[in-house]
């Protein structure tokens, strides 16, 4: 029987490598969700759309988050824009 020497090398601890572009994508989807809740505050959905577009333009490892933020922000702007247009139309026709 032979005695083998103990291995002298150790495995390096895992290194955390942040994903590329996840901060803007995260903010985009967070603001997109908040735009559904607080959509009447106009800068929130606009910021969700802008952060999503900038995150996609810079390149991201998780493009789904940025896309979700863009879709949520845009749908909120469309909903509130239609609601405001309907209110203006109702106000204009009820005054006649």
Domain boundaries, given as residue ranges, for the chain: 22-94
* 24 and 68 Cβ atoms separated by less than 8 Å: no
Q: Is the pLDDT of residue 9 over 70?
A: no
> What whole-number distance in Å separates Cα of residue 43 and Cα of residue 63?
22
* 48 and 73 Cβ atoms separated by less than 8 Å: yes
**Bigger pLDDT: 49 or 9?**
49
pTM across the whole model: 0.71
Q: How many residues does the structure list for the chain?
A: 96
Q: Is the pLDDT of residue 6 over 80?
A: no
Tell me how far CA of residue 62 lies from CA of 16, 19, 52, 65, 88, in angstroms: 17, 8, 11, 6, 40
């Amino acid at each position: 029987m032979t005695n083998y020497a103990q291995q002298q090398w150790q495995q390096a601890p895992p290194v955390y490598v942040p994903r590329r572009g996840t901060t803007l994508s995260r903010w985009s989807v967070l603001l997109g969700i908040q735009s559904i809740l607080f959509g009447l505050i106009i800068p929130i959905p606009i910021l969700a759309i802008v952060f999503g577009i900038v995150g996609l333009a810079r390149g991201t490892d998780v493009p789904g988050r940025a896309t979700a933020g863009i879709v949520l922000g845009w749908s909120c702007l469309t909903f509130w824009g239609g609601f405001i247009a309907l209110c203006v139309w109702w106000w204009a026709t009820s005054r006649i």
